[in-house]
Every structure is written in C-alpha cells, then in structure tokens.
Amino acid sequence: MSAPAARRTQQERREETIGRILDATITSLAELGYTATTIGEVCRRSGVSSGGVFRHFPTRLELMIAAADAVRERQFANFEVGLAALGEDREDVGESLRVCLELLRTACRAPMNAAWYELLGAARTDPVLREHLVPMAERYHAQIVEFGRSLPVATRFPPEIFDNVLLSLVHMFDGEALSWTVHPQPELEVQRIEVVARMLFGVTSDISSSNEH
C-alpha cells in the first residue's frame, strides 16, 4: 500500500537527498534571501530532516558553499542552452547583437542568478564564505568570457578589449537587475538595449557594412 520504498544503493540514496537539499537551498536563496534560508526552511522545502541535512553538511556555511558551486555549474549549463537556441538565426550583425544583449539581461534576471547575488552579498561581510566563493567567482567569470568568445558576434570586436566589453555588460545588467527590485524603469530598459548597441558599434573593428542589411 505505502510506497514500496524501491531498493536503492546507498550512493543513489545519498545523492538524491543531497540533490533535494541543494535544490531547496537554491530556491530558498532566490526567494527568501541568504538570512531567511535557515536549516529549518531547507528541511521544509526538501522534506529532509535537520539530522539528515547535518549528516551531509556539517555546518550551514558548508551547505551555502555547496549551493554556490551548484549555482555556478547550473548557470553555465543554462548559458549553453541559450547558446544552442541562439545559434540558429544568423541574420545581420546588428540584430544578432541586440538578441545577445537581451539574452544576457534575461540571464542576469533569472532566479538562479538571484541566488548567486545573495551569496555574493553575504560574502562581502562573511570572510569564510568569501574565501570559498573567490575561486568559484573566478571560474564563473572565466566561463562567461570563454562562452562569449564563442559567439559569432565576438569577431566584430578587437580581441584585446572583448573580454572587458563583455564583463562590463555583465556588470551593467547585474546592476540593472539589482536596482530593478526597487525601481524598475521599463521605458529606459527598452531603450537601453538600443543605446548600448549604438555604443558598441563605436568600438567594433571596422566593417560598418553591417549597418545596412
């Protein structure tokens, strides 16, 4: 009558539980923030007892660090998906640039990214968390740059400034996402893609033939 409790190996059992815990932690970070993501909240969301959580993560901090790593991995996986969906239409360069900008904005506003911000913000004033987050942030940025270089649009920019342009855009959309919470400005945001695209054309390496068709 009751679920037959399918036989699993210890490893399967363990990994499934850890997965549920990490999922719960990430969604709670995104929805409730770092502070409100308590062990109790994670238990509620994951259906795992506090004893179960502490078996796998000796402290709340280590749980957060594991969650951070999971977020980085998944965000990058999402990027890959976005890239695949994008690779299909290669019309004119101007249009594809705008599409890229929109995609970047979407990624910055994703709930998953909100979890990342929470951890980043907490790391500012929590030295231990920061220490563990540093290598992940470095890797994350490296992955973003690597990803960006693989885009067709990348060839339009002088290589020596491309990384910087891309990361500057990421920062801009991050800042936009942050202030969007308390002060969304839809009109400005629509126009922003246009303005930024124009600014970017200012540093593309020659070939303004893209402008018309």
The binding site for a copy of itself (CB under 8 A) comprises 31-36, 114, 117-118, 120-126, 130, 133-134, 137-138, 141, 161, 163-165, 167-168, 170-176, 178-179, 181-183, 185, 188, 191-192, 195-196, 198-203
Closest approach, Cβ 118 to DNA, in A, equals 13
Nearer to a copy of itself, 50 or 164 (CB): 164
The rounded distance, in Å, linking the Cα atoms of 124 and 33 is 15
The rounded distance, in Å, linking the Cα atoms of 178 and 135 is 23
Residue 7: contacted member of DNA, a copy of itself, none (CB under 5 to 8 Å, by partner type): DNA
Nearer to a copy of itself, 70 or 174 (CB): 174
Alpha helices by DSSP H, the chain: 10-32, 39-46, 50-56, 60-86, 93-109, 111-125, 127-149, 159-180, 186-201
- Identify residue 172 by its one-letter amino acid code: M
- Enumerate binding residues for DNA (CB under 7 A): 5, 7-11, 13-14, 16-18, 36, 38-41, 47-52, 54-56, 58-61
Closest approach, Cβ 141 to a copy of itself, in A, equals 6
Q: Is the dihedral of CA 183, 187, 104, 84 positive or negative?
A: positive
